[in-house]
Amino acid sequence: MNQDRKINPSLLLERARTGDESAIEELLAQHDVALRAMIDINKKWRSIIETDDVLQVTYLEAVLDLAKYQGDVAGFGSWLGSIAKNNLHDAIKTLERQKRPHPDRRIGAPPGKDSILWLWNFLTGSSASPSGHAARDEIRTTLETQITQLPSAYEEVIQLVYFQGKSIEDSASAMGRTYGAVYLLHQRALNRMHQLLGTESQFFSG
């Protein structure tokens, strides 16, 4: 870590792009203060989403997409900021659509719906209603295969919400994370699954 602080910032970025964990950690740490100042959460939602929640998911998304970043070190902070703003914007947009004080009640399949089938239809834009166990099992197997390609935190939240039928609140308890962090993880996990399945996201700006 101390050695990373002495190297040229551009070289630090290049090392981070190759997956060097210490370089990634240092690069993100250098932008943490500025990024925190950039995140502006409407006080209407501060009881649900905190700055640290946004940062957790932003840093995860940044690491996932770091190899794709084509800019230089001078633009890296702005790139991080755009990820943070997109994450916050998408989460709040969904919260506002729900128009309920407890958004976990609207996350996942509606009451009485098959959560696996609902997730499949949501992700693919279809209206499939398989009549037999074999068809449903095939859908489940496909989704299980897809989620193994997700980062572990995304995979876990999809497992908890859709395969185990837990609310975001219960999922947060199971994961040892805050409600807001898991809410944001859920949003981004669905977005990543849209990408894996090659379908267009209905809610997320990516």
> Cα separations (Å) of 112 from 99, 129, 169?
20, 14, 19
- Boundary-marking domain end, from 99, 124, 157: 99
Same domain (yes/no): 121, 190: yes
> Cα separations (Å) of 38 from 82, 84, 105, 146?
10, 9, 30, 34
Same domain (yes/no): 121, 152: yes
Higher pLDDT, 146 or 128: 146
Average pLDDT taken over every residue of the chain: 84
Is 177 domain-assigned?
yes
pLDDT at 97: 72
pLDDT at 107: 64
Ranking 101-105, 133-137, 169-173 by mean pLDDT, the lowest is 101-105
- Phi and psi (nearest 5°) for 41? -95, 125
State the average pLDDT over residues 36-60: 93
State the average pLDDT over residues 131-152: 84
Same domain (yes/no): 13, 61: yes
State the average pLDDT over residues 190-202: 74
Is 174 domain-assigned?
yes
pLDDT tier at 173, thresholds 50, 70, 90? very high
Is 193 domain-assigned?
yes
Residue 104 has pLDDT above 50, yes or no: no
pLDDT at 106: 52
pLDDT at 98: 65
pLDDT tier at 131, thresholds 50, 70, 90? low
CATH of the domain at 137: 1.10.10.10
Residue 50 has pLDDT above 70, yes or no: yes
Is 188 domain-assigned?
yes
pLDDT at 147: 92
pLDDT at 124: 83
- Boundary-marking domain end, from 99, 132, 158: 99
Q: Report the alpha-carbon distance of residue 194 to residue 173 in Å, rounded.
A: 26
pLDDT at 132: 59
Same domain (yes/no): 132, 115: yes
Same domain (yes/no): 192, 154: yes
pLDDT at 204: 40
User: Residue 20: which domain range?
Assistant: 2-99
CATH of the domain at 74: 1.10.1740.10
- Phi and psi (nearest 5°) for 102? -120, 85
Same domain (yes/no): 156, 175: yes
pLDDT tier at 35, thresholds 50, 70, 90? very high
Same domain (yes/no): 112, 87: no
SS3 track for the chain: CHHHHHCCHHHHHHHHHCCCHHHHHHHHHHHHHHHHHHCCCCCCCCCCCCHHHHHHHHHHHHHHHHHHCCCCHHHHHHHHHHHHHHHHHHHHHHHHHHCCCCHHHHCCCCCCCCHHHHHHHHHHCCCCCCCCHHHHHHHHHHHHHHHCCCCHHHHHHHHHHHHCCCCHHHHHHHHCCCHHHHHHHHHHHHHHHHHHHCCCCCCCCC
Number of compact structural domains in the chain: 2
pLDDT at 101: 44
Angle between helix axes 179-197 and 168-175 (nearest 10 degrees) is: 100
Same domain (yes/no): 71, 110: no
Q: Alpha-carbon torsion 75, 76, 77, 83, what sign?
A: positive
Number of residues assigned to the chain: 206
Cα torsion for 59, 64, 70, 75, to the nearest 10°?
0
Q: Report the alpha-carbon distance of residue 94 to residue 106 in Å, rounded.
A: 10
Same domain (yes/no): 67, 128: no
